C-alpha cells in the first residue's frame, strides 16, 4: 500500500498557517491545506470543544461537515467488522447523491476526510480552480473504488499533503510508523446523516438529520457509537467545517 506522511490536527494548518501531524494530525486539516486545495476563505475548520450545549453554541454556523479524529485500535476494527456484517444482512439506504471515496493510501485519512466534507457540499462551496476541483470533476462519474485509484495517481495531491505534513509544529513521523488515530467525516445529505470513512465498505447512514441539526446529530452519534465503547478514552477531537463569514 502507498503510504503518506500523517497530517497534524491543527485548525490553523487546515486554514492557512503551516502545521502537520502526530496525535494532532487533525490540526493540519484546519486551515492551510483547506485553502491550498481551493476552498474559499469564507469557509474554515473550527474546534468543537465539548459536547454540551454551551460548547456547541460556540461553533460558527452554518456547519456543513464534522471531521473526527479518534483512536484507531483493535476494538474499533472489531466494531467496524460487526457493523459491516450487520449492514450486509439488514441493508441500509444510501443516497445516490453521496460522494464517497475508498482509501487505498496509508495515512491519507485526513485528506480523504477533507475531500468527503467538501465534495458533498459543492452546492454551498464554490471551489476555486485547483487541485481539488480538478480531482472532483475528473472523478464525478466514477465508482468509490475508481476514485480511490485516482487519488493514488494524483501526484499534485500527494505533494500538497507532503508539503503540509512536513511544515507542522511537531516533527512529522516516519510514514512507515503505525499511527493510532484515524479521521472520518460526517455530512447531511438528502435528509440523512452519513459517516464517510474510506476504510469502510460504503457510507454509513446514521439516521435522519437536517443541515440545521447536523452538528448536534453528529455529536450524538459520536458519543454513542465511538466515545462510549472506548470506556473513558478522551483522545477524540472534533472539527466543524463552517462558513465563518456568516456568524
Residue 24's SS3 state is coil
Active site residue 182: yes
Q: Which residue has the cell 502545521?
A: 19
d(CA 152, CA 156) in angstroms, rounded, equals: 11
Q: Give Cα separations from 191 to 29, 187, 234 (angstroms).
A: 26, 10, 30
Catalytic residue from among 109, 161, 188, 206: 109
- Show Cβ contacts of residue 83 under 8 Å, excluding neighbours closer than 6 positions: 200, 204
148 vs 75: CA distance, rounded Å: 26
**CA nearest to 29, candidates 5, 48, 8:** 8
What CA–CA distance (Å, rounded) separates 45 from 114? 10
Say how many C-beta atoms besides its own lie within 10 A of residue 170's C-beta. 15
C-alpha cell at position 226: 465511538
62 cis-preceded (ω within 30 degrees of 0): yes
Residue 242 and residue 66 in contact, taking contact as beta carbons nearer than 8 Å:
no
- How far apart are the C-alpha atoms of 186 and 174, rounded to whole Å? 28
Residue 142 near residue 153, CB atoms below 8 Å:
no
Catalytic residue among 116, 161, 182, 206: 182
109 is a catalytic site residue: yes
Q: Which residues are catalytic?
A: 109, 182
Amino acid at each position: 500500500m502507498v503510504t503518506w506522511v500523517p497530517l497534524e490536527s491543527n485548525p490553523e494548518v487546515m486554514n492557512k498557517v503551516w502545521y502537520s501531524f502526530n496525535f494532532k494530525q487533525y490540526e493540519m486539516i484546519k486551515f492551510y491545506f483547506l485553502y491550498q486545495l481551493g476552498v474559499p476563505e469564507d469557509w474554515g475548520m473550527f474546534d468543537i470543544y465539548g459536547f454540551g450545549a454551551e460548547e456547541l453554541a460556540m461553533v460558527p454556523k452554518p456547519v456543513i461537515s464534522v471531521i473526527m479524529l479518534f483512536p484507531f485500535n483493535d476494538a474499533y476494527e472489531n466494531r467496524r467488522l460487526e457493523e459491516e456484517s450487520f449492514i450486509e444482512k439488514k441493508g441500509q439506504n444510501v443516497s445516490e447523491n453521496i460522494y464517497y471515496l475508498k482509501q487505498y493510501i496509508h495515512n491519507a485519512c485526513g485528506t480523504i476526510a477533507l475531500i468527503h466534507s467538501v465534495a458533498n457540499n459543492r452546492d454551498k462551496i464554490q471551489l476555486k480552480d485547483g487541485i481539488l476541483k480538478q480531482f472532483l470533476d475528473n472523478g464525478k462519474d466514477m465508482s468509490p473504488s475508481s476514485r480511490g485509484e485516482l487519488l493514488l495517481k494524483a501526484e499534485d495531491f500527494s505533494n500538497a499533503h507532503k508539503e503540509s505534513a512536513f511544515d507542522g509544529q511537531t516533527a512529522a513521523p516516519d510514514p512507515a510508523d503505525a499511527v493510532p488515530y484515524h479521521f472520518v467525516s460526517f455530512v447531511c445529505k438528502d435528509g440523512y446523516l452519513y459517516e464517510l470513512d474510506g476504510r469502510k465498505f460504503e457510507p454509513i447512514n446514521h439516521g435522519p438529520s437536517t443541515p440545521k441539526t447536523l452538528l448536534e446529530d453528529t455529536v450524538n452519534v459520536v458519543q454513542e457509537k465511538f466515545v462510549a465503547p472506548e470506556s473513558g478514552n478522551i483522545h477524540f477531537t472534533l472539527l466543524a467545517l463552517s462558513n465563518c463569514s456568516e456568524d
